[in-house]
A and B are shown apart, each in its own frame.
Chain A
C-alpha cells in the first residue's frame, strides 16, 4: 500500500532552492534511503514531510490523506515519527519523561502506570534502560540519538523518518545500530525513510534509495542501480568537464 506520496514538492529559502519539484513515493513496509551531497535538501524534505517547514508548492500525502498544510503535531499523531540530525532532546527532563511526553499524546487512553511501563520498554529496546532517570541533557551523543529513536517510536509511528542516526558512530557501533534499526522495523512493523551518509549502512539495509542533489531528485532505485547511476557518480565525484582546465 502506498504510504507516503510526494508530489512536485518545492521549497526555497530566499534565493536558495532547497527542494525543486520532488516527486516520490514510499510503500508501506519499505525501508527507503535518502542520500545526496551536503545541502542537497534532505533535511529540508524531512521537515516538509513532518510539517516543520511548509513547502511553497506541491503536495504531501500520507496514507491517502493530504497533509501538506497540517501542523507538525497533527502529522505526528497521524503516524509519522522522526529523529533530528542535530539532536533535540528535552534536555532538562529525564529520559523516561522524554518518552512519556510522546506517550502522553499517542497513548492518551492508557493509565499512567501503563505508560511508564511502555516507556521503560522502549528505553530498553534502544538500550537506555539504565539511564531512565538521567536528564537527557547529560547523555552523550550516541545515547541522545538512542533517546530520539525511543521518543520517535513512542509516537506509534507507521512511518519513521531517521535523519543521520548513525552519523558519528564507529564501525562497530554502526553495525549495532543497523541491527537495531532492522529489529525495530520488524517488531514495530515500520516503514522507514532515512537519511544517512554512511554508505555501507544505507546500501546494506535499504530496499530502495532516493538521491537528492541541489534540491532535485536525480535518481531512485535499488542500491545496486543507484550506485551505478552516472548522475549519482557525478554528484559525488564531480563533473569531469568542469575540471578540464
Chain B
C-alpha cells in the first residue's frame, strides 16, 4: 500500500453518499470519474497519477468532520474538495484549517463558509448572497412578482438563504411571509394552508432533497401551484433527479429552479467537452449539475497543484489564490480581499430554469434565456 502511495497524488472528496442526499453522492461520483479521466490523460499532477478518495458524510456535520479528519490524517490526502451541505462544510472547514490542508468547496452555499476568511478554505461554487442578490431577487423584480412566500428548511443553508431573501425583498418593497420546515417532513397540508391564506404569486422553496418534491405535489393538490402561484426551488438538483417527475407528476409543470447547467447554455468550451465525455461514459445526458461542480473543483485543484509544483499546503494556497482557469462553468478567479464572504470565493454564473411541458427552459438571466416565463 505504501508502494502505491508514492505513485499517486491523493485528493480527498467529502460528500453525502448515504442519507437523504445520497443522490448528490452519485452525481459527485460521476464527476470524479470524468475529472480523473481528463486529468490523468493530460499527465496527472506533479508527474504522478491523481487518485481520489471519496469519504461519506451522510449529510451529518459530525460525521463530516470526522470524515475529513480521516482523509487528512489517515489517507494523507494533499487537498480536499467537494461537500454540498453547508452544515457539514461549516464543520469541515475548521478541521481543514486546523490541519492546514487546502479545501475547495463545490456546492455548500452558506456565506459564512468563506466569510470566516480561513486561509485554507476556498469555494468555487455558488454562495447564498451571490445566488439571492445576483439571481433570485433580480428574477422576482424583473418578472414583477408581488407577493412572495418563503419556505425554508431548518439548516444552515436554508436559514441563511431565507434571511438574505427576506432582507432583499424588504428592500425591494415586496410583501412576503416565511415558514421554516423540517427537511424530512412529509405532510405539508397544514403549512400549505397557511400559505394559501397568505395568497402569494411566488413561493420560494429553500428545501433541499426529496422534501421539496412532496411539497410541490401537495401544493398542487391543495390548488396553489401552478394555479395561483409559481414555485421557485432554490437548490436546483432535486428538480433534476429522476424521482422528481415520479413524485410530483403534472404538478411539476411550470416549476422553476436554480441551476448551473443547461444543454443550450455553454459558458465555455470545457462545458461542451464535459457534456460529451459524460454522454460517452454514462450513455445519457448529464442531469444533476453537481457532477459538473465536482468536476470543476477537481480541475481547479489539479491546476493549483501543478502550478504550486509541490504538495506543500502553503504553496498550494498561493497557487489557488492566483488561479485563472477555464472550467465548465466559467473562468475561475478567487477573491482575495479579506473581510467579506468574497474572500477565496468564486461565484459561477447561475441560471433560473422553468420546466415547461417537461422541457427545461432558461428564463433568467434574460441574456441567456431560451424561452419566456409561463405563469399559467
Direct interface between A and B, CB < 8 A? no
Give A contacts to B, CB under 8 Å.
none
Give B contacts to A, CB under 8 Å.
none
